């Protein structure tokens, strides 16, 4: 601890002639300064300087390092306890202690488990003066558990409803960080409507159709082990409702009207309120009976979370969150209580006392609840520690009286409550030391006259020394009437004057000796501005100048800086700063302001300011502006070897003031015709003093510049050649690198002709070995840029320098750089190569480093070659595919990722330098354990029958082990795409074909198929197939049941069957499942927008109603969502309007059929009567019918729409099998307007001839064999009516 410089002044009695400063102890204790030399000599009890945190969470994949560092004199020894008992590290081969340290290293990477070393550890540092102890360090390995397996059912909601998607992450150590993403690892967008709560759940105030997705995935990131765990995806489908009823807010979290929250002092208080409602409610926060702390309050998660940073007891109280939307508002009150773990009011401080002195140790802490204070000495509770008559305990204070050397010890103060504890070590060190002065001798203090000066005299001694100051070699002690003495030994001169310059001596005395130190004082003249800038009013476009002349102490260097409005001057060429003034040309309106001149030295600074006001100029005729005319009359005067003065006459400025002159030169000797920039001067100057280089034939020219641009160059001046001189600089970019193992190539960037300063430019190249005693070897070479030294040893450091010279002499001594002779390939291979297989795809390789001398070059790193052992079928290949990983620098271990499970690998390690690779280490073979297999290569469903399906598959391309079995899971899918019960089946690993029997006919099944090794199941492959409807088959071969459907989305075979005011639309879909369709239609040839109807589910048919009779319509079908594909358009025409047509199709068919039957009976009766009258015989109608070859009722003729013969009314023969017409020849209309009859399922369910819709959605279970698509069923009245239409 350092001596404190106390601002408090201590004056002695004026009655004493020699005034001596006695420094008193504030708390009867002496502080030990942290002076290295002092600490080396003093005996000192142990002090803990570094330790691991109290709650220490470790990575189970790495070695455990428990830190404990301490200092003391003599150096302390260390011991440990574990769970309250002595921890004998010598008995555990995995535990070592760092030398000269108490830090433990537990090597669990080679063997052992982190869980074995869980517990509470405490370190003790001990020497002859006492023992210091560390905190209780609780060691716990981090954990990142997997999610428990669960079956997540798809969620279906109507538009506008609230929703909470639970996350429920696994409990890890430390707790995981939660976030929601999709399958593409893109974060899900959040807003006032959708947001993540503090518990990780995803809250929807109300759902919208765009929320529909199948990949709501909750991720848990465990930062300590750098792992991420994933929950099973959640599927959400939002059904669009015609209108969603708006509702006032209600809280999703927290529940009820009130809740309680408890937080610890110093933490971040987080309060959360999430509400649902329609429209989306907004959240507001207030604190009852108080205001929120503005500088510590943060709103997060779209104001749903209120955070208060560094919370304290004053933040306790009731907080209210208010959720509000257009329909109302609700509130929730959170009662907050802030507790506190112990915190220091006054931690005990180290005491250094001399024998016989008194002192105190004070330990004061606060908390909620109030912490309990307990004392220990040298790590032992003070109640059972050896008695010390010099100490007395008074609650939180230990009082020491008349201490002796045996009173030295380390005391521990423990303040604890239910929320934590504090532990502080403070030693009492009883020393007898003569005075020492710690301030550096002969320190020089430079001060400005009339200002205070402080002369330091830091000191130490035990007992506390007295301090005395003297001026001059034989001066008397200083008195209080002029000087001020501080308790830390500092001497203050309140107002320094010139006569205070001189040497001052500080003397420290105690009963054990005396020490003194001299310091020196120089008093400097203050800096003054003798000509200050003055207020100026100038016209726009004119020039203004501000003066600033400075006078300062001649031994100091002054710098002058100009400011505008307390900031830097504008970066504008119009502002020119000279030695004593600032010039602003072409003044603008924004140049107005305050200009300040600041003069600085190393000891003081002064400033002066003036205001510039800009006014409009007096109106004048509009001038013609142009670039200046070229300067003329160039003249060279004051011609010296290294300088010359150039003067010129400016040309006309053409109504724009000249702002600067640019001077260029030509070197006729080295670069004739090429002009270079020499200097720039203010537009107010017509002369310039130019610095020249030796051995150059100069010509000069001048150009003028104004705001319009730059003038043409002037005529060139007369030539002036300077004398030759030795070079004033040496080559740059000097390097020494070897191109071969036995040479050193020295290169440099040569000087150009202008830099040579004379004829005969050459270079003196010198070199010698860095680590040897050899003299420099030198050689003079011509004007080149490289020299090769041969016969050098391999890769040896050399010192190199290159010096320029010409006929006049040498350049200054060059800088020495270090290079190396050439590298050679390394000689030694890395040894002791070890492989630790981490898992089935990762291995860790360790090796011993090679000796540095064997590298013979710059160490680039180590390179691992590894390759997979070839199978017998691959051994005929000439080339083995080897992989290479390079590890930079001197690393002695590395990870091999991307290995194949259940494989044999071989590797070797080589060291790499700048020349190349060294020899390979002996090959080291290792094997990776089994992993989970990849998905089977293929899965086909063949030979579908009524109740069976045969599956054929190819094994996984990467089995990653020995296959133990296959698992087949399958479940039926009904017509509404709902999944049935899941059936699990195990299949031997040697099978590639399996037949499933006793399946439901005409049923779609979904299959999940994967292989397993002893490690576990691999990735699955899925397929779908359908059992056939009956033996004959209903679907054509290209879409037959049991075939796996195409996955490229496509809508084809769009057809329309139209009636008068309605039409049945059907289509064929090929692609992924669970697609929602829509139908768009409009009047053909019209520019009106398409009308859109949403299809229920994923049906492939739809009925359009409310159409206009006799109108041509266009129609197309599309898919909702991301797929976004649309069919081609089709055109159909509705039938003409009929006055007698009724709306109900079923009733209309029944009525017309009945009328036709009555007419047919009357016609038959008339024919029979006519025949009997002509023949005179009696033939009853029944006999005539029996004479017919086909007794069945004839179907209606499609060409003219009339009925065939109808049976006698007395003949009640049933309709043919498969007919849907009831025996009473009536058709019952379905109750729902959205029935399958309306969608074309009535009677035969067929729309077109390509079979795209035949039987797919009909309710028929059986059919008689028929040719083509014709039906032999008896027609119903509905059929007859459909034929008419």
Q: What is the pLDDT of residues 467-479, one digit of tens each?
A: 999 988 777 788 8
**Tens of pLDDT along 692-732?**
989 999 999 999 999 999 999 999 999 998 888 899 899 99
DSSP 901: S
Contact 857, 893 (CB under 8 A): no
- Distance spanning both ends of the chain, measured CA to CA: 108
- Coil, helix or strand for 36? helix
**Tens of pLDDT along 500-517?**
899 999 999 998 899 999
DSSP 602: S
**Tens of pLDDT along 866-918?**
998 865 445 455 567 889 999 998 899 999 998 989 999 999 999 999 889 99
**Tens of pLDDT along 89-111?**
889 889 999 999 999 999 988 88
Q: Which residue has the higher pLDDT, 743 or 1134?
A: 743
pLDDT of residue 34: 54
- Cα dist from 363 to 391, 413, 422, whole Å: 15, 7, 11
Q: What is the full DSSP assignment across 501-517?
A: -EEEEEEEEETTEEEEE
Q: Which residue has the tokens 């197939």?
A: 1025
Contact 481, 401 (CB under 8 A): no
Quick check: pTM over 0.75? no
Contact 595, 533 (CB under 8 A): yes
pLDDT of residue 1071: 72
| Angle, CA 1190 vertex, CA 1187 and CA 1194 arms, to 5° | 120
pLDDT of residue 618: 73
pLDDT of residue 103: 95
- Cα dist from 1256 to 474, 1067, 1070, whole Å: 123, 12, 15
Output the six-digit token pair for 156: 């279906």
**List of E strands, 189-327:** 194-196, 202-204, 213-222, 227-230, 234-239, 247-253, 258-264, 269-272, 274-278, 282-287, 297-300, 305-308, 317-325
pLDDT of residue 863: 94
pLDDT of residue 1123: 58
Is pLDDT at 565 greater than 50 in this prediction?
yes
**Tens of pLDDT along 587-614?**
999 999 999 999 999 999 999 999 999 9
Contact 357, 429 (CB under 8 A): no
Which residues is 484 bridged to in the sheet?
492
pLDDT of residue 1124: 64
Is pLDDT at 951 greater than 80 in this prediction?
yes
What is the pLDDT confidence band of residue 1250, given thresholds at 50, 70 and 90? very low
**Nearest in space to 504 (alpha carbons), one of 463, 465, 453:** 453
- Sheet with strand 965-973: strands edge to edge: 983-988, 965-973, 1004-1012, 1021-1026
Instruction: Return the percentage of the chain with pLDDT > 70, whole number.
Output: 84
How far is 124 from 410, CA to CA, in rounded Å? 11
Output the six-digit token pair for 984: 């699990």
Contact 123, 150 (CB under 8 A): no
Non-local (6+) Cβ contacts of 700 within 8 A are 634, 636, 646, 663, 664, 665, 666, 678, 690, 716, 717
How far is 957 from 1145, CA to CA, in rounded Å? 60
How far is 958 from 1281, CA to CA, in rounded Å? 63
**Tens of pLDDT along 547-559?**
999 989 989 999 9
Taking the CB of residue 767, how many other CB atoms lie within 10 A of it? 24
How far is 1191 from 617, CA to CA, in rounded Å? 123
How far is 457 from 440, CA to CA, in rounded Å? 9
Omega prior to 1111 cis, within 30 of 0: no
What is the pLDDT confidence band of residue 37, given thresholds at 50, 70 and 90? low
Computed on alpha carbons and rounded to an integer, the radius of gyration of the chain in Å comes to: 51
| Angle, CA 1058 vertex, CA 1054 and CA 1061 arms, to 5° | 130
**Tens of pLDDT along 176-194?**
899 999 988 899 999 999 9
How far is 62 from 48, CA to CA, in rounded Å? 26
Question: What's the sign of the alpha-carbon dihedral 816, 817, 822, 828?
Answer: positive
Omega prior to 691 cis, within 30 of 0: no
**Tens of pLDDT along 341-372?**
999 999 999 998 888 889 999 999 999 999 99
Which class for 484: exposed (0-12), middle (13-18), buried (19 or more C-beta within 10 A)?
middle
**Tens of pLDDT along 638-678?**
888 889 999 999 999 988 999 999 999 999 888 888 999 99
pLDDT of residue 1148: 59
Instruction: Return the percentage of the chain with pLDDT > 90, whole number.
Output: 52
What is the pLDDT confidence band of residue 560, given thresholds at 50, 70 and 90? very high
Which residues is 819 bridged to in the sheet?
798
Of 58-67, 888-897, 1208-1217, which gets the smallest average pLDDT? Answer: 1208-1217
Q: What is the mean pLDDT of residues 1141-1157?
A: 65
Contact 677, 705 (CB under 8 A): no
Is pLDDT at 922 greater than 80 in this prediction?
yes
- Cα dist from 237 to 154, 216, 289, 1121, 1129, whole Å: 8, 11, 45, 11, 29
> Over the chain, what is the mean pLDDT?
82
Which class for 739: exposed (0-12), middle (13-18), buried (19 or more C-beta within 10 A)?
exposed
Q: What is the mean pLDDT of residues 576-587?
A: 91
Q: Within its chain, how far is the Cα of 559 from the centroid? A: 47
What is the pLDDT confidence band of residue 1140, given thresholds at 50, 70 and 90? very low
**Tens of pLDDT along 109-143?**
888 788 889 999 999 999 999 999 999 999 999 98
What is the pLDDT confidence band of residue 621, given thresholds at 50, 70 and 90? low
Is pLDDT at 1244 greater than 80 in this prediction?
no
pLDDT of residue 1222: 39
pLDDT of residue 1108: 85
Q: What is the mean pLDDT of residues 1184-1205?
A: 38
């Amino acid at each position: 601890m350092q001596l404190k410089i106390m601002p408090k002044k201590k004056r002695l009695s004026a009655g004493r002639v020699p005034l001596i400063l006695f420094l008193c102890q504030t708390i009867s204790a002496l502080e030990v300064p942290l002076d290295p030399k002092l600490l080396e000599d003093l005996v000192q009890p142990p002090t803990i300087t570094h330790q691991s945190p109290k709650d220490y969470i470790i990575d189970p994949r790495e070695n455990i390092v428990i830190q404990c560092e301490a200092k003391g004199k003599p150096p302390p020894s260390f011991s440990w306890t574990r769970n309250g008992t002595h921890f004998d590290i010598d008995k555990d081969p995995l535990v070592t202690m760092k030398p000269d340290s108490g830090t433990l290293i537990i090597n669990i990477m080679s063997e052992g488990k982190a869980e074995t070393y869980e517990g509470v550890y405490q370190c003790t540092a001990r020497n002859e003066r006492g023992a210091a102890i560390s905190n209780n360090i609780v060691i716990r390995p981090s954990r990142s558990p997997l999610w428990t397996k669960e079956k997540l059912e798809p969620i279906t909601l109507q538009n506008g409803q609230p929703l909470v998607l639970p996350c429920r992450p696994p409990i890890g150590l430390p707790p995981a960080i939660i976030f929601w993403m999709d399958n593409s690892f893109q974060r899900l967008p959040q807003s006032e409507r959708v947001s993540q709560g503090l518990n990780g759940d995803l809250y929807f105030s109300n759902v919208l159709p765009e929320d529909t997705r199948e990949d709501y995935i909750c991720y848990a990131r465990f930062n300590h082990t750098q792992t991420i765990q994933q929950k099973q995806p959640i599927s959400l489908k939002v059904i669009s409702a015609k209108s969603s009823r708006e509702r006032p807010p209600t809280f999703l979290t927290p529940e009820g009207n009130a809740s309680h929250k408890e937080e610890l002092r110093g933490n971040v208080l987080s309060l959360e309120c999430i509400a649902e409602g329609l429209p989306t409610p907004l959240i507001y926060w207030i604190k009852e009976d108080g205001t929120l702390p503005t500088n510590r309050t943060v709103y997060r998660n779209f104001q749903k979370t209120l955070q208060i940073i560094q919370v304290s007891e004053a933040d306790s109280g009731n907080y209210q969150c208010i959720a509000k939307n257009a329909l109302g508002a609700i509130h929730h009150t959170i009662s907050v209580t802030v507790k506190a773990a112990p915190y220091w009011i006054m931690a005990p401080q180290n005491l250094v006392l001399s024998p016989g002195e008194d002192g105190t140790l004070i330990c004061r802490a606060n908390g909620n609840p109030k912490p309990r204070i307990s004392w220990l000495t040298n790590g032992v509770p003070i109640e059972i520690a050896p008695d010390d008559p010099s100490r007395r305990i008074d609650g939180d204070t230990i009082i020491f009286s008349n201490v002796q050397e045996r009173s030295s010890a380390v005391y521990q103060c423990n303040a604890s409550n239910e929320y934590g504890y504090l532990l502080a070590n403070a030693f009492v060190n009883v020393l007898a030391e003569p005075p020492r002065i710690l301030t550096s001798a002969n320190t020089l203090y430079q001060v400005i006259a009339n200002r205070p000066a402080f002369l330091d005299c830091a000191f130490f001694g035990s007992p506390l020394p007295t301090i005395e100051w003297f001026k001059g070699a034989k001066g008397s002690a200083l008195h209080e009437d002029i000087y001020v003495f501080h308790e830390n030994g500092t001497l203050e001169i309140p107002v320094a004057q010139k006569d205070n310059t001189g040497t001052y001596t500080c003397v420290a005395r105690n009963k054990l000796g005396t020490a003194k130190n001299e310091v020196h004082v120089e008093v400097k003249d203050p800096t003054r501005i003798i000509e200050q800038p003055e207020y100026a009013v100038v016209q726009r476009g004119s020039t203004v100048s501000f003066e600033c002349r400075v006078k300062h102490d001649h031994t100091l260097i002054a710098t002058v800086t100009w400011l505008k409005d307390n900031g830097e001057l504008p970066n504008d060429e119009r502002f020119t700063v000279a030695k004593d003034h600032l010039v602003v040309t072409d003044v603008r309106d924004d140049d107005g302001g305050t200009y300040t001149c600041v003069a600085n030295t190393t000891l003081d600074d002064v400033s002066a300011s003036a205001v510039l006001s800009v006014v409009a100029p007096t109106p004048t005729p509009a001038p013609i502006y142009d670039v200046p005319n070229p300067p003329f009359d160039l003249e060279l005067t004051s011609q010296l070897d290294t300088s010359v003065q150039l003067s010129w006459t400016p040309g006309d400025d053409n109504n724009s003031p000249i702002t600067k002159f640019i001077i260029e030169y030509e070197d006729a000797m080295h670069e004739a015709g090429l002009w270079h920039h020499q200097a720039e001067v203010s537009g107010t100057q017509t002369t310039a003093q130019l610095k020249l280089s030796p051995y150059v034939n100069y010509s000069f020219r001048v150009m003028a510049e104004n705001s319009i641009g730059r003038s043409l160059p002037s005529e060139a001046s007369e030539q002036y050649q300077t004398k030759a001189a030795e070079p004033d600089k040496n080559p740059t970019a000097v390097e020494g690198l070897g191109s071969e193992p036995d040479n050193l190539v020295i290169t440099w960037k040569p000087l150009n002709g202008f830099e040579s300063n004379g004829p005969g430019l050459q270079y003196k190249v010198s070199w010698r070995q860095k680590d040897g005693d050899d003299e420099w070897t030198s050689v003079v070479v011509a004007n080149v840029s490289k020299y090769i030294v041969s016969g050098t040893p391999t890769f040896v450091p050399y010192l190199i320098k290159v010096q320029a010279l010409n006929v006049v002499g040498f350049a200054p001594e060059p800088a020495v750089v270090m290079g190396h002779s050439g590298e050679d390939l390394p000689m030694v291979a890395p040894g002791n190569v070890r492989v630790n297989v981490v898992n089935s795809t990762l291995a860790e390789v360790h090796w011993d480093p090679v000796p540095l001398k064997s590298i013979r070059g710059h160490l680039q790193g180590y390179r691992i070659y590894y390759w997979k052992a070839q199978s017998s079928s691959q051994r005929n290949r000439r080339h083995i595919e080897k992989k290479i990983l390079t590890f930079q620098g001197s690393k002695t271990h590395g990870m091999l990722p991307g290995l194949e499970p259940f494989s044999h690998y071989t590797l070797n390690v080589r060291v790499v330098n700048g020349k190349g690779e060294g020899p390979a280490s002996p090959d080291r073979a290792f094997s990776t354990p089994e992993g989970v297999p990849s998905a089977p290569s293929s899965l086909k469903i063949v030979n579908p029958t009524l109740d069976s399906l045969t599956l054929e598959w190819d094994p996984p391309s990467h089995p990653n082990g020995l296959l133990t079995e296959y698992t087949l899971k399958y479940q039926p899918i009904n017509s509404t795409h709902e999944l049935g019960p899941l059936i699990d089946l195990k299949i031997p690993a040697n099978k590639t074909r399996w037949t499933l029997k006793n399946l439901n006919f005409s049923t779609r099944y979904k299959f999940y198929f994967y292989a397993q090794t002893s490690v576990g199941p691999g990735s699955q492959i899925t397929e779908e197939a359908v059992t056939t409807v009956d033996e004959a088959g209903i679907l054509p071969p290209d879409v037959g049941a049991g075939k796996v459907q195409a996955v490229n989305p496509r809508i084809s075979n769009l057809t329309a069957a139209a009636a008068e005011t309605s039409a049945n639309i059907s289509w064929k879909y090929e692609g992924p499942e669970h697609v929602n369709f829509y139908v768009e239609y409009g009047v053909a040839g019209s520019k009106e927008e398409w009308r859109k109807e949403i299809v229920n589910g994923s049906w492939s048919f739809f009925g359009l109603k409310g159409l206009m009779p006799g109108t041509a319509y266009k129609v197309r079908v599309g898919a909702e969502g991301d797929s976004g594909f649309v069919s081609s358009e089709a055109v159909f025409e509705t039938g003409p309007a009929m006055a007698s047509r009724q709306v109900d199709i079923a009733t209309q068919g029944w009525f017309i059929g009945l009328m036709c039957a009555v007419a047919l009976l009357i016609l038959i009766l008339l024919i029979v009567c006519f025949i009997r009258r002509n023949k005179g015989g009696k033939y009853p109608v029944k006999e005539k019918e029996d004479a017919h070859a086909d007794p069945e009722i004839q179907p209606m003729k499609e060409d003219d729409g009339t009925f065939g013969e109808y049976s006698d009314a007395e003949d009640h023969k049933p309709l043919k099998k498969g007919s849907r017409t009831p025996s009473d020849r009536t058709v019952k209309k379905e109750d729902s307007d959205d029935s399958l009859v309306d969608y074309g399922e009535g009677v035969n369910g067929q729309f077109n001839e390509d079979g795209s819709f035949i039987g797919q959605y009909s309710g028929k279970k059986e059919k008689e064999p028929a040719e083509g698509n014709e039906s032999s069923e008896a027609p119903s009245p509905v059929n007859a009516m459909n034929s008419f239409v």
